[in-house]
Structure formats: C-alpha cells, structure tokens
C-alpha cells in the first residue's frame, strides 16, 4: 500500500501527535501493515524536484496511490483560486493538487478536524475560506463534491480530533490496508466507529463526581467540570479516556474540560471553552440521549445524596477526604 501524506492549512499537530505512538511506534506499525510512505513533508528526505516528479507520476498513473492522507484544512481563497496556500515550487495551489490527486487514490483520509471539517483553520470569519476535504463544518460538500467516493466506494474517512489520537490514525490505516473498512464502519460524519461509538465520558476519572453532580468551579479542582467549566465529554465522541494519550493522559485527566474537538464546528462554540452556558441555571448542553426533565430530576436527587467526601474533594485541588475504611465482617 503506497501512502502519500500532504499537509495543508493547519499547525502540523496531528503529525506531532502521530509521532507519539508507542509500543509499537508509527514506523514499525506502518511497516508491519505493509504501508509504504511515498512522501510525508515532515518525515521524508525527498523535497523539491523529486517530490514534483513523484506527484506528476501519481497523476499520470505511473505510481499507484492507495492512501491519500491530508492533514489541515484546504484554503480556497482568495476568490476560489486556492492561492493563499501554494505547494512550493510547483506553481499550483494545495487545493489544486488535492483535487487532482483524490480521484487517483484508492482511499482518501482526512487526518484531524481541520482536514475533516475545517476545524480551527476555519474559525472566526475564515478569511482564507478554509474547508474540510468532504465537509464544510457540519455540511457535506467541502473541497470535494458531496457525491465523491474513492475507488473502493467509501467517502473521505474523517479521523477527527484536534489533534487526532495516534491510535485512531494507525488503526484506520491498518484497517484500510487489510481491506477491512466498510461503509458501515463509519458514523454519520464518516468517522471510524471504533472510536466514534464511544463518548469521551466513558472511562473519565471524574465520573464519580459526575454521578453525584459534585462540581468543580476552578480548573485546578477535582470535581466534575460539566456544570461550571464547559466540559462536554458526555456529548463528545472519542475513546480518549479508554485508550489514554501517550499511555497515560487525556484532557479531562489533565484537568481541562473536553471541548468536543472531534465534532464539526467545535471551534466556534459561541462561548468560552471553559464556561458552561446556562438558562435559568440549567446547562444548555445536556448529556447525549438524556431528556431535559430526566436530567433535572437525576441532578436534584444526586446533589441531595452527595457524600461529604465528594462534596469537599470536588472543590479541592487534592484529595482532602479519603474513602471510609471498611472493616471486614466476622
């Protein structure tokens, strides 16, 4: 399987994240899966004329392209020319190259939320007119038309995240290399279901505080961050707390609320990331699949039953009250 990786409008953070893959590392994993890296702008030796020749040969059909991975959003400005981002030395925009290469690829993969939906690159007034490969925000039809399908009949596969988890990238590439990725394996936004069928809430170390609605009020505190600090891990897809980053961490375990970075338009929440919008004291964003009335009833009962240990620890930056010791029954 030949893989070409292009970096468009973004920070390169998904490549940085990918390099953090451990046991095995990224290069061993790709080699074991039979994936040959034709070129990666940050990892390959070739540059300049060598890369230009490679790209021309792919488009001419002389070099097979099995996996086209694009990291970063595609800048369409100014005025639809794409010339805000040129592929250096080629005289052609990145937009132009991606449009030419995508039909040549057996599979097309958008790596990270910028490539998938526009992401941070499209935030605000979006002066560069940046879009995702197959989506513009939450709407199908980004750089590529809505009806685009790769040679195997799949849409652009969106490995969303900001940055995306290295395990998500490698597992997706391995599934594609083995021919085991089907349309049914993708969710409604074409994200691989092996991580998108989970919520960030699953496995969160703060779940005991969530159950009793024992809430933190400042970022340094140990309680649940949903009520006051903007955490939407109960709505965000991803197995971040099931397979920790770098083997040990996640946003919530590091003390920062989940901002739903795997979703389209997460970059424009219309409020500060660390604030929970409320109406009459009730959080606007409720957990997935939970009716408002049920949440209110559950929250009232939970708060009334909150153990003193959790109430005190929730607003502390350390464990002030340890669990009660239970003596064994004779």
Whether 181 and 172 have beta carbons less than 8 Å apart is answered as yes
Do both 158 and 77 map to the same domain?
yes
Do both 126 and 18 map to the same domain?
yes
Do both 15 and 160 map to the same domain?
yes
Cα(219)–Cα(222) distance, integer angstroms:
8
Q: How many structural domains is the chain composed of? A: 2
* pLDDT for position 249: 87
* pLDDT for position 290: 80
Do both 239 and 102 map to the same domain?
no
Whether 121 and 128 have beta carbons less than 8 Å apart is answered as yes
* pLDDT for position 294: 77
pLDDT in tens, the chain (330 residues): 999 999 999 999 999 999 999 888 999 999 999 999 999 999 999 989 999 999 999 999 999 999 999 999 999 999 999 999 999 889 999 999 999 999 999 999 999 999 999 999 999 999 999 999 999 999 999 999 999 999 999 999 999 999 999 999 999 999 999 999 999 999 999 999 999 999 999 999 999 999 999 999 999 999 999 999 999 999 999 999 999 888 788 999 999 999 999 999 999 998 999 999 988 777 888 888 888 787 788 888 888 899 999 999 999 999 999 999 888 887
Residue 303 lies in a domain: yes
CA distance to 112, 215, 311, per residue, from 212 (Å): 34, 9, 9
Cα(159)–Cα(169) distance, integer angstroms:
7
Angle at Cα 295 formed by Cα 281 and Cα 138, nearest 5°?
85
Residue 323 lies in a domain: no
* pLDDT for position 39: 97
Do both 23 and 74 map to the same domain?
yes
Cα(114)–Cα(146) distance, integer angstroms:
18
Domain boundary among 195, 219, 241: 195
CA torsion through residues 142, 179, 242, 29, sign:
negative
Whether 15 and 71 have beta carbons less than 8 Å apart is answered as yes
* pLDDT for position 284: 81
What CATH number did the domain enclosing 212 receive? 4.10.480.10
Do both 209 and 188 map to the same domain?
no
CA distance to 38, 96, 144, 329, per residue, from 101 (Å): 13, 9, 11, 70
Do both 216 and 309 map to the same domain?
yes
CA distance to 79, 84, 85, 173, 250, per residue, from 127 (Å): 10, 10, 13, 33, 32
Angle at Cα 190 formed by Cα 188 and Cα 196, nearest 5°?
75
Residue 327 lies in a domain: no
* pLDDT for position 70: 98
* pLDDT for position 300: 85
Residue 152 lies in a domain: yes
Cα(131)–Cα(142) distance, integer angstroms:
6
Domain boundary among 161, 195, 229: 195
Cα(216)–Cα(169) distance, integer angstroms:
33
Do both 185 and 263 map to the same domain?
no
Condensed to tens digits (0 to 9), the pLDDT of residues 242-252 reads 998 887 889 99
- 303: which residues sit within 8 A by CB, 6+ positions away? 212, 213
Do both 303 and 205 map to the same domain?
yes
* pLDDT for position 8: 97
Domain boundary among 171, 195, 219: 195
Do both 185 and 44 map to the same domain?
yes
- 317: which residues sit within 8 A by CB, 6+ positions away? 220, 221, 222
Do both 209 and 224 map to the same domain?
yes
**Domain ranges, residue 87:** 2-195
- Residue found under tokens 């039979």: 34
């Amino acid at each position: 399987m030949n893989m070409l990786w292009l970096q468009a409008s973004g920070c390169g953070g998904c490549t940085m994240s990918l390099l953090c893959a451990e046991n095995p590392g990224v290069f061993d994993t790709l080699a074991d899966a039979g994936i040959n890296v034709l070129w990666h702008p940050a990892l390959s030796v070739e540059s300049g004329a060598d890369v230009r020749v490679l790209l021309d040969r792919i488009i001419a059909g002389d070099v097979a392209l099995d996996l086209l991975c694009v990291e970063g959003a595609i800048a369409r400005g100014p005025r639809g020319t794409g010339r805000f981002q040129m592929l250096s030395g080629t005289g052609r925009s990145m937009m132009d190259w991606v449009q030419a290469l995508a039909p040549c690829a057996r599979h097309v993969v958008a790596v990270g939320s910028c490539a998938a939906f526009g992401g941070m690159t499209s935030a605000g007034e979006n002066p560069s007119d940046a879009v995702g490969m197959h989506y513009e925000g939450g709407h199908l039809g980004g750089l590529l038309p809505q009806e685009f399908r790769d040679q195997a009949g799949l849409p652009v596969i969106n490995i969303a995240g900001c940055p995306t988890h290295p395990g998500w990238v490698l597992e997706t590439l391995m599934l594609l290399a083995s021919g085991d990725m089907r349309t049914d394996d993708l969710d409604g936004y074409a994200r691989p279901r092996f991580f998108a069928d989970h919520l960030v809430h699953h496995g969160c170390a703060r779940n005991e505080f969530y159950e009793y609605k024992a809430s933190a009020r400042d970022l340094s505190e140990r309680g649940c961050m949903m009520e006051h600090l903007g955490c939407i891990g109960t709505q965000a897809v991803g197995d971040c707390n099931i397979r920790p980053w770098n083997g040990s961490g996640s946003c919530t375990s590091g003390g920062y609320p989940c901002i739903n970075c795997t979703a389209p338009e997460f970059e424009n929440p219309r409020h500060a990331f660390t604030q929970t919008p409320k109406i009459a004291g009730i959080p606007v964003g409720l957990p997935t699949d939970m009716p408002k009335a049920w949440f209110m009833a559950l929250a009232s009962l939970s708060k009334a039953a909150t153990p003193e240990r959790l109430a005190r620890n929730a607003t502390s930056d350390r464990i002030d009250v340890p669990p009660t010791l239970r003596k064994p029954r004779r």
